[in-house]
Structure 1
Amino acid sequence: MLWLKRNLFFSVSLLVILGFFGYGCFYLYSKWDESGTIQKSLEETDANLKKIYDSSGVFPSKTNIDIIKVQAEQLKSFVADATKIKARVEFDARITPSNFKTLLDNSLADLNKQAEQARIPVAQRDFSFSAIKPLVSFPEGSVGFLAEELADVKALCGILFRSEITSLDNLRRVPVCKPDLDAGGSLDYHTLTGRTNEITGDAVSVYLVTFQGFSESLASVLDNLQRSPYGFSVHLLSVLPGSPMKAPAAPAPQPFGQGAANTAPPLTRNAPVQAGRAPAGPTGAQGVRRLETLADEKAFKVAMIIEIAKPLVAAK
């Protein structure tokens, strides 16, 4: 005890040193597993790098990097050229409300006239503008967006009518103003939103279309969309059984040789004649040739999501 009192400073220093030594041992032990995990990760990274350097495939050499840069420039040039080819659906973004009201009435009347001339039943006589048509004043800032959608609908319906569909059941657009939003349960709208193409910078508008037709009508719709100067693209297509209607049937067979109008058999390239003939009749009468039914196609219902890519117009 006397020695401890005489060497108090030395004793305290020894205790502190022993404490630090114990803490160091504990810290080393606690970090041992972490060191093993880091070492394993380094070994895996080193092995992956060796695979890249030792592989005979793509290697991030200067030559390959230069090739990628050239191809990236070619891709940018291709996108720029493709953007120039596409035409924007023309509309007046600065149209006045009064002029838009006149344009809307005239456009809807013209679309209905086109449908009647093509003998295509249309379920929506207002073509998704039923909430807008009765208005005489429009929310501030909405006329330009409505004029743009009206131009899109006219272009889209023109393609559908030219494709000789059987009927136009539904056409939906994006709600762009308060009257559209207030008609929440209407079949004129969908919940999809437009977007901007990150590569080309095009603004993309989305429309949902449902119509009935035959396989030829569907093929014609897709072909006309592809041939259109506007940036139409189909992103989803669903086909379901339609209403019970059949494709136009061949005319009823008539006996030949019984009048001046039937001097030649009405044979066609697309309607082969059946092999058999009717039993021979009186002298001078010929057998009856009947047309063979090659297909009995029934109409089906088509629902598709159509996007319109519109090149951005520089502000004037």
Structure 2
Amino acid sequence: MAWFKKNLWFVVICLVGVALLGLATLFALSQSDKGGVVALELADATQQYKDLNSKKELPGDQKNNNIETAKQENIRLQDFSTRVTSYLAPANVPTNLNNLNFSVRLNESISKMRLEAARINVILPITNGYWFTFASQKSAVEYKGIQNMAAQLYDIEGIVKILYDARVHSIAQLKRPPATPDEPNNGDFLTRNAKTNDSAIVTPYEVTFTGFSSELARVMQGLANATNCFVVRTVGVGQAGGPTSAKLTTIAPPPMMMNQFGGGRYGGDRYGGMMPQMAAGAAPKPKAPNALLDENKLRITLQLDSVRMQAAAKK
């Protein structure tokens, strides 16, 4: 007893150690059992994977030939890819341009568009010397971002040709993104810039012109049939505010936005459900004229995106 009293703490520590050792042994045995279960599950999953990987695809039966169907779908996919790639083909823009030959091409293009406007009596924003958004480059000696500028000139030529073919009455304004961040802005630039990814280049444009609804229809048809791929983002239509002048600085009512379902084309009080009841004896409020139904001259603003494949992405 005397020894236990003297070594009481030693005995207690030994007993605690033995208990902890027993608990550790039980824990290790339980985890070993779980490890065995996980190993069995892994082996079973591995065997299922091997079985599935070794099986052949089902060819189908007499009614459904899966292999032949897959071949036909692959042919259709290749045909669709070819047609889309040809429609979004890289723009026919000259490459390896230098300052001299780009200057010649720019001046020739501007001159041709001016002469064609005069020939078919399309009024331009400036009677003499309109540069179709390239006024900042008319006296340039060295051009920055020549390739981007050449691609935008190609798009502008396509847009202007569509407007000319539609016989619009006048071109009020053309806008494009700057070809380079430091290109001087003469009021012809958009705040949105072109976007580029691995496959395509999307360049925004804004076109404002005047004409009747028939000219608008021909412009939309021309955009749909253009060799350039143009995507119409919005169409704004409003009455042209009086006789058309060369500057076109005044606009009457704000443009009405249209979407693919015709929203904004007709007022909500025309087809938009119940009309509010008017008080007895109250005079009806005059309705604003419908720009598309009243055949007056229209001022039309189109926001477009030009989409073209990058040459490196074409396979």
TM-score, length basis structure 2? 0.58
Shift of 1:297: 1.1
CA distance in 1, matches of 2:193, 2:76: 31
Q: Cα gap change, 1:17/1:127 in structure 2, threshold over 3 Å: closer, same or farther?
A: farther
Which sections of structure 2, spanning at least 5 residues, go unmatched?
Answer: 21-57, 61-65, 245-292
Residue of structure 2 equivalent to 1:190: 190
Task: Count matched residues.
Answer: 221
2:232–2:304 Cα contact (<8 Å) kept: yes
Cα shift readout 1:226-260 (whole Å, capped 9, x = no counterpart): 111221221222223322259xxxxxxxxxxxxxx
1:239–1:302 Cα contact (<8 Å) kept: yes
Residue of structure 2 equivalent to 1:148: 151
Shift of 1:128: 0.5
SS of the aligned residue for 1:244 comes to coil
SS of the aligned residue for 2:114 comes to helix
CA distance in 1, matches of 2:8, 2:74: 79
Residue of structure 1 equivalent to 2:39: none
1:244–1:298 Cα contact (<8 Å) kept: no
CA distance in 1, matches of 2:238, 2:59: 54
Identity %, equivalent residues: 23
CA distance in 2, matches of 1:69, 1:197: 31
SS of the aligned residue for 1:108 comes to helix
CA distance in 1, matches of 2:121, 2:160: 14
Shift of 1:212: 2.0
What RMSD, in angstroms, separates the aligned Cα atoms of the two structures? 3.6
Matching of residue 93 in structure 1 with residue 95 in structure 2? yes
1:88–1:230 Cα contact (<8 Å) kept: no
CA distance in 2, matches of 1:72, 1:6: 87
1:132–1:179 Cα contact (<8 Å) kept: no
Matching of residue 233 in structure 1 with residue 231 in structure 2? yes
CA distance in 1, matches of 2:303, 2:59: 44
Shift of 1:219: 0.8
2:232–2:302 Cα contact (<8 Å) kept: yes
TM-score, length basis structure 1? 0.58
1:121–1:167 Cα contact (<8 Å) kept: yes
Matching of residue 170 in structure 1 with residue 152 in structure 2? no
Which sections of structure 1, spanning at least 5 residues, go unmatched?
Answer: 20-60, 247-294
2:93–2:150 Cα contact (<8 Å) kept: yes
CA distance in 1, matches of 2:16, 2:224: 87
2:178–2:193 Cα contact (<8 Å) kept: no
Residue of structure 1 equivalent to 2:12: 11
CA distance in 2, matches of 1:69, 1:196: 34
Shift of 1:62: 11
Cα shift readout 1:51-109 (whole Å, capped 9, x = no counterpart): xxxxxxxxxx999x998997577445412222124554422121221122122122112
SS of the aligned residue for 1:236 comes to strand
